[in-house]
Amino acid sequence: MNQVMRASGLVVVVILWGMCGCDLPDRHDIALLRRPAVWEVEVSAPVIRDGDAGFARTQTPEPRSDVSSQNWQDWYLHCLESDEADSESLASQRKFVLGGVHMRADGKQVQLSERVLVRSSDIRTPGGLVRNADAQADLLLPNHTLCLNANKQTFWHDDEGHLERVECKVRQGPVESSKTILISEDSVRIEPTSGNGAKVKVLKKSGPLGGPLMVYRSLRANPLLAGQVRESAVFLPINESLAKLRLVGNPRALAKRMGADGVVVDSLNEALGAVSIEGSPPRYRFYWYDDDGVVQATQISDEGGFTYRCDEDQYQSLGQDFLTHRYPITVEIPGKPIAISEEGMFVKQLAVNVQLLPQASESTVVVDRPRLSAAPRQYVQVLDEQNQRVITAFRPVPAKRLAGRFETFEPESSQADLAATKILDFRSAAMRKVLGTTSSLRGLDQRDQAEQINRTIHSLLSFQNLSTGIRPASQIVQSTAADSTEHAIVLIAMLRANRIPARMAVGLRYLESGESSQSGASQEAVNRFGYHAWVVAEVDQEWLALDPTIGEPVGAECIALEINDLSKLNAGQFTDRFLGILRSVRLTVHAAVIGKR
């Protein structure tokens, strides 16, 4: 394997079995172990090489009939590795835990549940700078951002252990999607069930399939010996891809695992998993497991992170931040503290400095607007080519006070602002029923209609931070709870049905201390903002900002990052685009005016 890896120049990376990749990480970093890795020194046992004929080659074994191999559950924690994390107690290591996964097997059914807080500090700039490398580098990076990614998968197997059905739910920030995968003799049928516009997909196959947990089930059923190779065709539900899995047994190696009192180094069995998707180079991940075949640790070398097996109590105590994280995206913004010290106080005005940053070359979605724009009650001042100041106000600011120094939101509405779409399906039966509740508003002027419809949506739907995010208005109104995106979708649909032009605004809302998550908090005093969506509507040639989650106009605590007429809404790229905008700017609170209502 040494010669193969050196000759090919392969980089060991993670394969995203799940949304956050809990299944194939790689060997420990040499610097962390303070000694050479196994492939760097001579070993008494042979190392497997592609094409070698002298070693045992077996298909994935039949599961044992004993209960221990058929019924089990494990907890794993995804940890950011550092010298500080190694040297401190488990209690103080909590801040290095980024996420975790719970796996449970009950005979033919296997369940996986994973939550991870993806951090902006793990993203490099085009110049290769890493957050906190030094003070100057830190100024060139975006604000510290946490995006909640999660997935829940349930796998059903036949009597021979082959995959036959999968239920899959995936969250990326504010957007959640779900699908059912049905596996027949010659095909894999992927049926979306979240109603966000995705289409049915059918893949042709030949032969039986295993699933993403094949490695864990295989090792428990029959631990792999050094020199053995197992191969299987597998299906990756989140990637929606067919692949080939090759599992190679290596000699024992020193590896880290989590014990009762912290992380320790131990001698464990080692296996290398390689996944090949047609048209892509193989991807590799290393597993370290005990003599019973239970995986104890995995690692992604180029990300400096480890995944450790732990017990349930450790999972709950060390994983509190990601397990209780309530917002799809949170952002830390330094600067002047926004101090709401007593009940009845609120943000009257907010001034935020915006530094424009170059986009990272690895960004998946290009942001075509390199700066923040004006919005209702949001005014933008251009300081120079790289800097802006954004002022948000509880009440509209008179034009004479702006004195031409600030940009204001004054677009002309178009037919796109009144159109029905697959998401804004206000002509559907479910929406017509809800629209009937607003028939008494027809005698009001447009402003009063818009404000009353806003209050109606607020009373119709309870607020839930982590709902589906993007689905048709007709589905949302049949629910009991919705997030801010869904509230906005329903309000836009109802406004357009009443011939009131409307668009969606997405941005950030200041989180008071009682609702702000402390996950990943830095040492400096920061203000925390969370993802939020609301609506802008044109009435009597004036644009209003309405927040249906509270049933009131939008306050100064909200900063709009983008306003969209939803004519080209792409659920798959929605979160990537939002994060792309955040990565292109660095925000600082310049001033805040707090008052009483």
Angle between helices 446-460 and 484-497 in degrees, nearest 10: 140
pLDDT reported for residue 473: 96
Lowest mean per-residue pLDDT among 148-157, 318-327, 367-376, 585-594:
367-376
Same domain for 349 and 295? no
What is the residue range of 101's domain? Answer: 2-324
Backbone angles phi, psi at 134, to 5 degrees: -165, 170
Residues 298, 320, single domain; the answer is: yes
In this structure, of 127-131, 160-164, 427-431, the range with the lowest mean pLDDT score is: 127-131
pLDDT of residue 212: 80
Whether 486 and 358 map to the same domain: the answer is yes
Distance CA 331, CA 526 (A): 9
Percentage of residues in the chain with pLDDT exceeding 90? 56
Burial of 36 (0-12, 13-18, 19+ CB in 10 A): exposed
Whether residues 293 and 388 fall in one domain: no
Rounded Cα–Cα distance for residues 379 and 351 (Å): 10
> Is pLDDT of 140 > 80?
no
Which of 297, 324, 351 is the last residue before a domain boundary? 324
Q: Are residues 547 and 585 in the same domain?
A: yes
Look at residues 267, 299, 324 and tell me which one is the last residue of a structural domain.
324
Best-predicted range by mean pLDDT (321-325, 398-402, 500-504, 519-523): 500-504
pLDDT band at 133 (very low <50, low <70, confident <90, very high): very low
pLDDT tens sequence across 315-368:
999 999 999 999 999 999 999 999 887 888 899 999 999 999 875 544 455 555
Confidence at residue 223, expressed as pLDDT on a 0 to 100 scale = 85
pLDDT at 413: 94
Residue 437 CB contacts under 8 Å (≥ 6 apart), including other chains: 456
**Residues 265, 398: one domain?**
no
Would the pLDDT of 35 be above 90? Answer: no
The burial of 134, by beta-carbon neighbours within 10 Å (0-12 exposed, 13-18 middle, 19 or more buried), is given as exposed
Are residue 416 and residue 515 in the same domain, yes or no? yes
- DSSP sequence for 40-104: GS--SSPPP-TT--SS-EEEPPPPPSSHHHHEEEEEEEEEE--HHHHHS-TGGGGGGEEEEEEEE
Structural domains counted in the chain: 2
Q: How far separated are the first and last CA of the chain, in Å rounded?
A: 69
φ and ψ at 496, to 5 degrees?
-65, -35
- Do residue 287 and residue 339 come from a single domain? no
Which string of b and e fits 325-361 if b means at least 16 CB within 10 Å?
Answer: bebbbbbbbbbbebebeeeeeebbbbbbbbbebebbe
Model pLDDT, residue 93: 59
d(CA 587, CA 307): 33
Is 391 in the same domain as 404?
A: yes
pLDDT at 22: 42
- Domain with residue 402: its CATH number is 3.10.620.30
Q: Single out the residue in 304, 324, 344 at which a domain terminates.
A: 324
Residues 291 and 335 in one domain: no
Of residues 572, 578, 511, 503, the one with CA closest to residue 534: 503
Average model confidence (pLDDT) across the chain: 81
d(CA 183, CA 520): 40
Out of 91-105, 128-142, 291-305, 387-401, give the one with best mean pLDDT: 387-401
* pLDDT (0 to 100) of residue 125: 37
Mean pLDDT of 263-288: 88
**pLDDT score at 160:** 81
Region of poorest pLDDT, from 298-302, 353-357, 421-425, 541-545: 298-302
pLDDT on residue 54: 33
Residues 252 and 377 in one domain: no
The listed range with the strongest mean pLDDT (5-9, 132-136, 444-448) is 444-448
Helix (H, G, I), strand (E, B) or coil at 181: strand
Cα–Cα distance list, 179 to 152, 170, 196, 199, 219 (Å): 11, 9, 11, 10, 28
Judged against a pLDDT cut of 80, whether residue 515 lies above it is answered with no
46-60, 363-377, 412-426 — which one is most confidently predicted on average?
Answer: 412-426
Whether residue 223 contacts residue 289, with contact meaning beta carbons closer than 8 Å, is answered with: yes
User: For residues 81 and 305, what is the distance between their CA atoms, to the nearest angstrom?
Assistant: 5
Q: Using the CB atoms, write b or e for 534-571: b if 16+ within 10 Å.
A: bbbbbbeeebbbbbbbbbebbbbbbbbbbbebbeebeb
Q: Give the pLDDT of residue 45.
A: 38
Which range (49-63, 217-231, 344-358, 437-451) has the least confidence?
49-63
333 and 319 share one domain: no
